[in-house]
Structure 1
Amino acid sequence: MDTPSTSLTQLVPGMIGMILVGSSVSVSHTLVDAPLFTTQAVRYLAAAVILVLLARLAGVRPVRPRAREWLWLTGLAVTGLVLFNVAVVRGVAHAEPAVIAVAVACVPLVLGVVGPLLERRRPSRQVLIAAPVVMAGAVLVEGTGRTDAAGVAWAGLALGCEAAFTLLAVPVLARHTPWGVSIHATWIGGVLLAVLGGPIEGPTAVREVTASQWAAAGYLTLMVTAVAFVLWYSTVRAVGAGRAGLLTGIAPLAAAVVSAVSGTGTPGPSVWLGIAVVIVGLVVGLRPVPARVVETSPASTAAKPLPSNLTSPLDASGPYL
C-alpha cells in the first residue's frame, strides 16, 4: 500500500536537518586542505560525546546494539560517514563538484524505491512521481560539470553511500530511536576514521589543522552532525524513508541561498528555476493524501448472521466481518 499521509510537524525536523546540511557547504570548503581522516575522526567522536550528553538531558538512554544490529549500524557508519567523505574528496579530484552533487541529487528516487521495501511497504506512486521532479530541480540548482570515468565512479559511490546513510538506519530505528542510531553511527565512524588516519596521515596530522579549520569542524560537529542527524532520523522514523528522501532536495536550495546571502555567488536564472522545480516536487510528493471514503448501503451495514456452528463472534478464529 502507499505511504500514509504525513503532517507538517513530522516533516519539520527533516527539513531543518537538510537546511543545516545545505548551509554547511560553504563551511566545508574550509576543510579542503585539512587532513581528511584525522579531522573527520575528531568531528564524529566529538559529536558522539555531544549526542550522549544531549540524550541524557532529553531523558533518553541509548541501548546497546545486539546481534545483526551491529551489522546495520557499522554498515551505516562505513558507508554514510567514512566512504562518503572519501568519495567526495577523491571524486572532486576527477570531476567538478557539480558532478558529485548531481549524483547525490538522485537520492530521492533511490530512497523512494528501496526505502519502502525495507519497511515492507509498496513504494508510493506519489513519491515516485515527485522524486524525479525534485532530482531535476536539484540538478538545475547545482548545474553540471566535466568529469572522467573515475569521476563518474566516485560520484556513483557517493550516491550509494548517501542513500545507505538513511536506508541502513531503517531496520534499527524502532529500537534505537533517532538518538541511539546517531550516537552509535558517530562513534563507530569516528573510530574507523581514526584507525585510517593513523597510518595514512600520521599521528601528528592533528597539528596541521588550522584554527579556522577547527572552527569549521566545530560547526559541522555540533550543527550538521549532532543536531542534523537526530532531526533527520526523527523524520525518517515518522514518515518513512521514501517521503523523507524528497527532503534531500532542500539541501541544494539552502546552499544556494546561503551563497547568495554571503555574497560568494549570485544565483542565476537556472538556479532560481531549479528552486521552483524542487518546491513543486516537494508539494507533489508531500501533499496530504485524502482518506478514501467507502460508501455503504444500509443493507451492507446491517448485522450479519453468525455461521451455524458459532454462537458468538468471539468464537471465530479471526475478525468477523
Structure 2
Amino acid sequence: MRNSSLLRIYGKLIISAGCWGGAFVAAKIVVQQLPPTLAAALRFTLAFSVLLVALIIKEGKKAWVPPRDWALLIAAALTGIALYNIFFFTGMIYTSPINGSLIVSSGPVMTTLISGLLFKERITGRQSLGLFLSLGGVAVIISQGSWSILKELAFNKGDLIIAGALFCWSLYTVIGKATGQRWSSLLATTYACGLGAVILWIFAWPHVHTTQWQNLEPPVIVAVIFMAVFASAIAFVFWYDGVRQVGAGRTSAFQNLVPVFSAVSANLILGDRIFPFHAIGAVLILYGVYLANSKQKPQPVQTLACSPKNAP
C-alpha cells in the first residue's frame, strides 16, 4: 500500500477515535436537557438512517435479512444499543466524560472475562494479568485514587452506571462474534441500530410529550446530530474501512486514542480538570488491555460494532 493511501486510512482511524472520544462530551451536554432514553432514541434513529443508505449502496439486495433470522440481531440491539445507551446516557448525568471514557476503555478485557465465563474460552496467564491491571485501573478511576472511598464503597453512582454500560457493551461484542460469521459488520450494525432504536422508543415515547422541544439549546441539538452522524455512522464506516484495508490488529491500536480525545475535548469544551488518578488509571487500563490482546492468534470472524470495543 502506498504511503499516501496508508496515511489516508490512518487519518480516518484517528477521526473515528476523535468522534468516539467527543461522544462522551456530547452526551454530557445532551443529558442536561433530554432524558437518557429519548437522547438515545434520537441518536440511533438518525444513525440508522445514515447507515441504511450506506448499506443499500454497498450491498444492494443482500442488505435484506428475513425476520426469522433476526434473533441474534435483536440480542445485539438489546445489549449494545438499547441497554448500553440507557446506562451510558444515565451515567453521564452524574460522572465526567473523562471518567466515563476511561472506564469504557477496559471493554476488551471485560469481553475476555465474559467469553471465559460463558463460553469456557481459555484465559491465559497474560490475559489474567491484563484483566487484573485493567480492573485495578477502573478501581482507581471510580475511587478517585482515594483509599477511603474504596474502603467505604462511597463511589460516584455515575461511574457505577457506566460500569453497567461497559458490561452491556462486552456482551454485545461477544454476540458480535456470532453475527460476524453470518453477515458483514456493516449489515449487522445497521440492523442492530435500527432494532435498537425501536426498543429505545418504547421507553422514550412518554418523554416526547413532556420534553420542552422549543427550549432546546443549540449545543444540545448539535451534540445529538454529532453523536448520530459522526460518532455512530461516519466513524463506523471509517473504522470498518480501516479494518478492511490494514487489518484488525493495526486498527485496534487506534482504540487507545479514544480516552485521550475524550480528556482533551472535555478539558477544552467543558473545562473538566485532568487529575493524577486519571493518568494512573489510564496507564493501568490501557496496559492491561495491551496484555490481554497481544500475541493472540487473529480471529477469522468479523465482530459487530458501531464502534470498537471501547467506544460509546
State TM-score, norm by structure 1.
0.66
1:65 is the counterpart of 2:65: yes
Question: Any conservation in 2 of the 1:14–1:233 contact (CA below 8 Å)?
Answer: no
* 1:90-109 alpha-carbon deviations (Å, 9 max, x no partner): 45677788886676455333
Cα deviation for residue 180 of structure 1 reads 0.5
Cα deviation for residue 56 of structure 1 reads 4.2
Q: Equivalent residue for 2:5?
A: none
* 1:70-115 alpha-carbon deviations (Å, 9 max, x no partner): 2221122222222223224445677788886676455333211334
Q: Equivalent residue for 1:28?
A: 27
> Which of the pair is proportionally richer in helix?
2
Query: Is the partner of 2:172 in helix, strand or coil?
Result: helix
Question: Any conservation in 1 of the 2:106–2:135 contact (CA below 8 Å)?
Answer: yes
More displaced, 228-237 or 180-189? 228-237
The number of residues matched between the two structures is 282
Select which of 173, 182, 186 maps to 2:193: 186
Q: Equivalent residue for 2:310?
A: none
* 1:207-266 alpha-carbon deviations (Å, 9 max, x no partner): 554332111111101121113445667889999999999976653333123334557234
CA distance in structure 1 between the aligned counterparts of 2:175 and 2:74, rounded to whole angstroms:
9
CA distance in structure 1 between the aligned counterparts of 2:44 and 2:101, rounded to whole angstroms:
22
The residue identity in structure 2 corresponding to 1:27 is A
Question: Any conservation in 2 of the 1:37–1:194 contact (CA below 8 Å)?
Answer: yes
* 1:167-187 alpha-carbon deviations (Å, 9 max, x no partner): 222211232211011110111
Cα deviation for residue 27 of structure 1 reads 1.7
Report which of the two structures shows the higher radius of gyration computed on alpha carbons: 1
The residue identity in structure 2 corresponding to 1:227 is I
Change beyond 3 A, Cα 1:54–1:206: farther
Q: Equivalent residue for 1:252?
A: 259
CA distance in structure 2 between the aligned counterparts of 1:275 and 1:103, rounded to whole angstroms:
9
CA distance in structure 2 between the aligned counterparts of 1:289 and 1:156, rounded to whole angstroms:
26
State TM-score, norm by structure 2.
0.67
1:265 is the counterpart of 2:272: yes
Q: Equivalent residue for 2:230?
A: 223
Q: Equivalent residue for 1:114?
A: 114
CA distance in structure 2 between the aligned counterparts of 1:209 and 1:122, rounded to whole angstroms:
50
CA distance in structure 1 between the aligned counterparts of 2:232 and 2:127, rounded to whole angstroms:
27
CA distance in structure 2 between the aligned counterparts of 1:154 and 1:269, rounded to whole angstroms:
23
CA distance in structure 2 between the aligned counterparts of 1:141 and 1:49, rounded to whole angstroms:
36
The residue identity in structure 2 corresponding to 1:30 is I
Change beyond 3 A, Cα 1:232–1:275: same
Q: Equivalent residue for 2:301?
A: none
Select which of 164, 179, 184 maps to 1:177: 184
Query: Is the partner of 1:24 in helix, strand or coil?
Result: helix
Q: Equivalent residue for 2:81?
A: 81
Change beyond 3 A, Cα 1:287–1:107: closer
CA distance in structure 2 between the aligned counterparts of 1:283 and 1:148, rounded to whole angstroms:
27
CA distance in structure 1 between the aligned counterparts of 2:207 and 2:214, rounded to whole angstroms:
15
The residue identity in structure 2 corresponding to 1:110 is M
1:211 is the counterpart of 2:218: yes
Percent pairwise identity:
20
